[in-house]
C-alpha cells in the first residue's frame, strides 16, 4: 500500500490501529540511523453494545499481533508510552483479549533497547504495578530498559525525544499519564501522541505545537465515554485543540479511541473543515496506508447480526474468562 506521508527520510508505517480493526497505536518508524517500534501492544474491547468481540475482530487481532512481532524483529528500539495492554505486551497467556504469551513477549522485547514510561513517578497505582511487573517479565528480555520521561536519545543524526508525562485524557485523569514521542532527522519531525484523547488538555496541545512536526499520529477523544469518563466540556476542549493542531500540522493521523464510534466524523467535521481551509490533511491510519477503514469494534453489533459466529465459537465464548484466555478461539 502507498503511504501518504509528507516525510521522505523518516519512514512511518502504522502497524495496528482502530481503523485496522483492533485497539492499538503500534507504529514502526525507520530513519537512516535507527529502527523504532512505538507502543508494541494490541487488544480487543471486552464488551461493546452488550457483545463480546466478534470472530472478525479476533482475526484482525491475530493478524495485528503477527505484524507487531514481524516489526519488532526489524526494530532496534521498542517504546512504551504507558502500561495499558493496547500499548505494551504482557508476558502472560491471554488469547481472549490481547493475543499474547511469554513467547510472544520475548520475541518483541528480546535484545532491544526499551525506552519506557517510568513506573516510579507520575503514575497511578495500576500503572505503577503493571510497570514494575513489566520490568520483571517482558522487560527482562530487553538488552536494557531506560526510563524515558522528558529525555532525549541520540542515534547518529536521529533523535528520539520524549515529553514530560502528560495526562491520559482530561487533567487529573484517574488513568494517569503517558509520554509523547518525537522522532527527528534533519528538518523532518514526526510526533506520536499516544493516549492524549484529543488532546483534551491545552498544555498538551502546546507541547505538540512546540515541536513543529510535519506529521502527527494523534489519539482522538473517546466519544463513547462522553458523560462517563469525560464531560461535554472536555470534548469541546478536545475539538478546539484538534483544530489548532490541524491548522499548523500538514498531515495529522487521527485514530485510536475516537474510531470506536462509527459516526466519529460527525464530531470531527469542524476539525476536518479547519484542516481543509489550511490546505492540510486529516487521515486515519488505514487511509494513510492507502487502504479502507475496518471499524470492527464500532460495528460489533452489526457484525453479530450480519455474520453470526459458528457454533464452535459460541461454545468457546460461553467458557469462563480464565478458560478463554488459555484457549485460542476457533476461527
Q: Kindly give, in sequence order, each residue whose CB lies less than 8 Å from that of residue 173, ignoring residues fewer than 6 positions away.
A: 167
Angle at 183 between CA 216 and CA 279, to 5 degrees: 30
Q: Kindly give, in sequence order, each residue whose CB lies less than 8 Å from that of residue 219, ignoring residues fewer than 6 positions away.
A: 25, 193, 194, 195, 196, 197, 255, 256, 257, 258
Rounded Cα–Cα distance for residues 224 and 68 (Å): 27
Write out the three cell numbers for 264: 466519529
Write out the three cell numbers for 104: 510472544
Write out the three cell numbers for 236: 469541546
Please give the share of the chain, as a percent, with pLDDT higher than 90.
98
149 pLDDT above the threshold of 90: yes
> Around Cβ 82, how many Cβ atoms within 10 Å?
26
Quote the DSSP letter at residue 230: B
Write out the three cell numbers for 93: 497467556
**Quick one: how many helices (H) and strands (E) in the chain?**
10, 15
Q: How confident is the model over 295-302, as a mean pLDDT? A: 98
CATH number of 11-326: 3.60.15.10
Element of type H or E holding 65: helix 55-74
42 pLDDT above the threshold of 70: yes
Q: How confident is the model over 76-80, as a mean pLDDT? A: 99
pLDDT band, very low/low/confident/very high, at 4 (cuts 50, 70, 90):
confident
Beta carbons of 39 and 255 less than 8 angstroms apart: no
Q: How confident is the model over 204-230, as a mean pLDDT? A: 97
Rounded Cα–Cα distance for residues 182 and 213 (Å): 8
Among all chains, which residue has been given the C-alpha cell 510526533?
191
Among all chains, which residue has been given the C-alpha cell 464531560?
231
Q: Kindly give, in sequence order, each residue whose CB lies less than 8 Å from that of residue 122, ignoring residues fewer than 6 positions away.
A: 149, 164, 165, 176, 177
pLDDT at residue number 323: 97
Write out the three cell numbers for 230: 469525560
pLDDT band, very low/low/confident/very high, at 210 (cuts 50, 70, 90):
very high
Computed over every residue of the chain, the mean pLDDT equals: 97
Strand pairing category for 188-192 and 181-185:
antiparallel
pLDDT band, very low/low/confident/very high, at 3 (cuts 50, 70, 90):
confident
Higher pLDDT, 4 or 39: 39
Amino acid at each position: 500500500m502507498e503511504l501518504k506521508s509528507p516525510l521522505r527520510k523518516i519512514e512511518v508505517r502504522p502497524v495496528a490501529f482502530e481503523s485496522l480493526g483492533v485497539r492499538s497505536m503500534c507504529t514502526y518508524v525507520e530513519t537512516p540511523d535507527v529502527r523504532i517500534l512505538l507502543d508494541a501492544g494490541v487488544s480487543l474491547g471486552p464488551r461493546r453494545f452488550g457483545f463480546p468481540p466478534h470472530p472478525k475482530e479476533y482475526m484482525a487481532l491475530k493478524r495485528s499481533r503477527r505484524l507487531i512481532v514481524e516489526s519488532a524483529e526489524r526494530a532496534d528500539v521498542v517504546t512504551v508510552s504507558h502500561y495499558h495492554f493496547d500499548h505494551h505486551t504482557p508476558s502472560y497467556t491471554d488469547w481472549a483479549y490481547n493475543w499474547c504469551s511469554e513467547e510472544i513477549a520475548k520475541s518483541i522485547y528480546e535484545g532491544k533497547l526499551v525506552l519506557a514510561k517510568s513506573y516510579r513517578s507520575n503514575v497511578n497505582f495500576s500503572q505503577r504495578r503493571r510497570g514494575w511487573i513489566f520490568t520483571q517479565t517482558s522487560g527482562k528480555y530487553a538488552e536494557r530498559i531506560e526510563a524515558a520521561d522528558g529525555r532525549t536519545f541520540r542515534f547518529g543524526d536521529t533523535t528520539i525525544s520524549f515529553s514530560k508525562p502528560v495526562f491520559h485524557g482530561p487533567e487529573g485523569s484517574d488513568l494517569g499519564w503517558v509520554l509523547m514521542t518525537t522522532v527527528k532527522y534533519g528538518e523532518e519531525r514526526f510526533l506520536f501522541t499516544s493516549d492524549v484523547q484529543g488532546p483534551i488538555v491545552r498544555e498538551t496541545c502546546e507541547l505538540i505545537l512546540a515541536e513543529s512536526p510535519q506529521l502527527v499520529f494523534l489519539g482522538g477523544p473517546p466519544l463513547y465515554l462522553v458523560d462517563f469518563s469525560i464531560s461535554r466540556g472536555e470534548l469541546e476542549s478536545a475539538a478546539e485543540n484538534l483544530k489548532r493542531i490541524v491548522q499548523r500540522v500538514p498531515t495529522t493521523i487521527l485514530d485510536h479511541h475516537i474510531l470506536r464510534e462509527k459516526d466519529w466524523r460527525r464530531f470531527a467535521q469542524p476539525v476536518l473543515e479547519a484542516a481543509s481551509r489550511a490546505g492540510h490533511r486529516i487521515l486515519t491510519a488505514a487511509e494513510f496506508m492507502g487502504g479502507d477503514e475496518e471499524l470492527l469494534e464500532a460495528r460489533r453489533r452489526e457484525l453479530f447480526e450480519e455474520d453470526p459466529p459458528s457454533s464452535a465459537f459460541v461454545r468457546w465464548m460461553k467458557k469462563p474468562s480464565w478458560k478463554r484466555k488459555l484457549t485460542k478461539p476457533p476461527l
